[in-house]
Amino acid sequence: MDAPKLQLLSEKIITPSTPTPHHLRQYNISYMDQLLCRKYIPMTLFYPHNEKQISPPSSTTLEKSFSDLLSLYYPYAGRIVDNKVVDCNDKGAILSEARIMSTMSDILKQPFSKVQRTVFQNDLPWSEPRLEHDSLAIARLTHFGCGGKSLSLCLTHKLGDSNTLCNFLLHWSALARGISFPPPQLIGSTLLPPNDDPFTPYMFEVKNQPHTTRRLHFDGATIDHLVDLIASQSDIKNATKAEIVTSILNSALARAESKMKTSSSPFMIYIPLNFRKLISPNLSNLMGNFLSFLLVHIKDENDLKLPTLISKIRTEKIRHFKKYKRLDKEDIPSAIRAETGSFPTEFADMRLSTSLCDYPLYDIDFGWGKPTKVSFGALPTRNTFGIFDGPNGGVVALAVLDEKIMQEFLRDEQILEYACLQPGY
């Protein structure tokens, strides 16, 4: 089935409502920002038609609140000069509006790639800005024939991670509804000073590979059952949903690869962590990339048993937290530089598992009510999993795998027992 025809209603460059002061016109990015690529991190929120709404927010309200938001997140209205500096020149960010006659439910049944081409602008998810003057933030409001709508957002990874993306959306929705919030903290380069060399090479690059994406759902009752099961089989009495789902996905992938004879142990699971709470408990609004990284080594089949793998993840997490908690704040930058400097450069035997669990994505209300579906754009790199909260205490997982491996992965005993395959996006 071809992707439904989209009618572009408008496309505007939105500039900050308050010009950026001269002394803030040069924004120095942090050391961690230097290591990250410039590709766009994508997220989409889907809002059903709400007949009870008396006066839903207009397009003008969305534009005005976006303009106000860019005054707070002013580097996103600028342009990257090099791998050290952003020129905060108020050239603005793109906001477009489109219409499609298909219903939202019909669109969401389509394959993942086709939905992304519908709700995002110009195949943006995880693409690279083409020119130096390209916008660093790109949003689109899409109206469906049923009265529902989606709001998609792509932010350059160079200026922020998933925490920044979620805060950007939460703050935008607050402005649209006239709700106050603590402003974002743009002090990243003070906490993690950049290298003097603007040509610092990217350490964490997203490489396009042939792949297929499937969306899996673990309902809340299943998660609760697994927490109790793990507690009865190990000394982990309070396994988190992220630990549980990460372990199920990676052990199923390892078994699928073994059956297809494409890989075998040992390998590593690479898990990014939000580093803000390790620096300070009051930096949840810190803009930028503040990531630390767990490397969980899998040596043999015994390590793939669910209680064992969860225990390995938990042990590594505790060791990691203790390491940084005992450091003085001024010692943290050198510790991070040492950690990233020793990071493996060979990614062939690594699996990426990133979690957005516990972010309040289903509370992002622009005045249309709360979203009924949230989706994080899938990475174009094989052997990656993105997990985030689903409704009613459940967890949604995006699995990005080689197509043949995916077929075997979906037949795995634990996937069949604990997860439900959701068709489409």
Q: What are the backbone dihedrals phi and psi of residue 55, each rounded to the nearest 5 degrees, phi first?
A: -140, 80
Residue 268's beta-bridge partner residues?
Answer: 297, 350
Contact at 8 Å (CB) between 211 and 401? yes
What is the per-residue DSSP string for 298-356?
E-SGGGGSHHHHHHHHHHHHHHHHHHHHTS-GGGHHHHHHHHHHTS-S--TTEEEEEE-
Region of 115 (left: φ > 0; alpha: ψ -120 to 50; beta: rest) is alpha
Candidates 161, 191, 159; CA nearest to 27 is 159
Contact at 8 Å (CB) between 67 and 16? yes
Candidates 347, 422, 354; CA nearest to 384 is 354
- Alpha-carbon span 218 to 238, nearest angstrom: 17
CA dihedral angle for residue 251, residue 275, residue 156, residue 313, rounded to 10 degrees: 0
What residues are labeled active site? 157, 365
Region of 161 (left: φ > 0; alpha: ψ -120 to 50; beta: rest) is beta
Q: Name the pairing type of β-strands 137-144 and 93-100.
A: parallel
